[in-house]
Amino acid sequence: MQPPPPIVSSLTTLMCVGLSAWTYMSYAKSTAALAVSSFAVLSLQLLASDKPAFSQLASSVFGLFYCGYLPSFWVKLRLLAAPAVGSTAVHGWPVALGGLTHWTVGLIATFMSVACIIASDTGAYFFGKSLGRTQLIKISPKKTVEGAAGGLLCSILTALGLWRFFAWPASPVTAVAIAVLVFFASLFGDLIESVMKRDAGLKDASNLIPGHGGLLDRFDSYLFTGAIVFFFLKFVVPVFGL
């Protein structure tokens, strides 16, 4: 399909980066920024195109949501300010290494989420390569059930290890829940990007990183994860007392 005008694409890219900065400066309030950004790119598209197509309008707003709004939840997650009471190992760390007062729920949750994504991707790769026999889904032929099971196991073990070290969250059940959510969020984030690339007839999102594709190829597992973990910690854990 016909892409949006170059000026609209450039503005969308700029605003995608700006959404995370806005989220940080406004202390996790990014919804208004998304609405204003959407209005700006759609209005500019009306001025820059003689006959803008609905697909062009939709792709611009989707780009803001997918590449701007979703990553901003990592800022929201990091800014969770409740003190994380716990680990004696952290108690003994000097201020230069963060000290106890700097280890908030947001910092530990962000660290745990990233660690679980890395463990999940690594586990899925090695288990899939050595044991993979059963195809998981037609969208991505290389993904196997065995690889997915290995990724889930590695994510859970990583979360439990970090729970043991940081003494956060309050129970191992919550740590396992975070690991499971991270695994599925990263897996489906990868699959969603695979659908977009297949529809566009592309193997990689771009050639920005030689041998690895583009930024989306490296960070597709992270896009939904920050939002899902933030929602879980902010709205589910307090209600159910996990």
- Residue 241 above 70 pLDDT? no
Query: What pLDDT is stored for residue 37 in this prediction?
Result: 93
The CA distance from 77 to 220, in Å, is 18
Q: Is the pLDDT of residue 112 over 90?
A: yes
Q: Quick check: helix, strand or coil at residue 213? A: strand
CB atoms within 10 A of CB 139: 12
pTM reported for the whole predicted model: 0.88
pLDDT digits 0-9 by tens, 191-210:
998 888 888 777 666 666 66
In this prediction, residues 132-144 reach a mean pLDDT of 89
Amino acid (one-letter) located at 42: L
Query: pLDDT tens digit string along 119-130?
Result: 999 999 999 999
DSSP letter (8 states) at residue 111 = H
Rounded Cα distance between 178 and 232, Å, is 8
- The tokens 């890219």 sit on which residue? 13
Block residue for tokens 């993979």: 132
- Cis amide leading into 71 (omega within 30): no
Task: Note the pLDDT tens digit of each residue in 176-195.
Answer: 999 999 999 999 999 998 88
Q: Is 131 left (phi over 0), alpha (psi -120 to 50) or beta?
A: alpha
Backbone phi, then psi, for 51, in 5-degree steps? -135, 80
What's the rounded Cα separation, in Å, for the pair 90 and 105? 13
Share of the chain above pLDDT 90, in %: 60
> What is the chain's mean pLDDT, rounded?
87
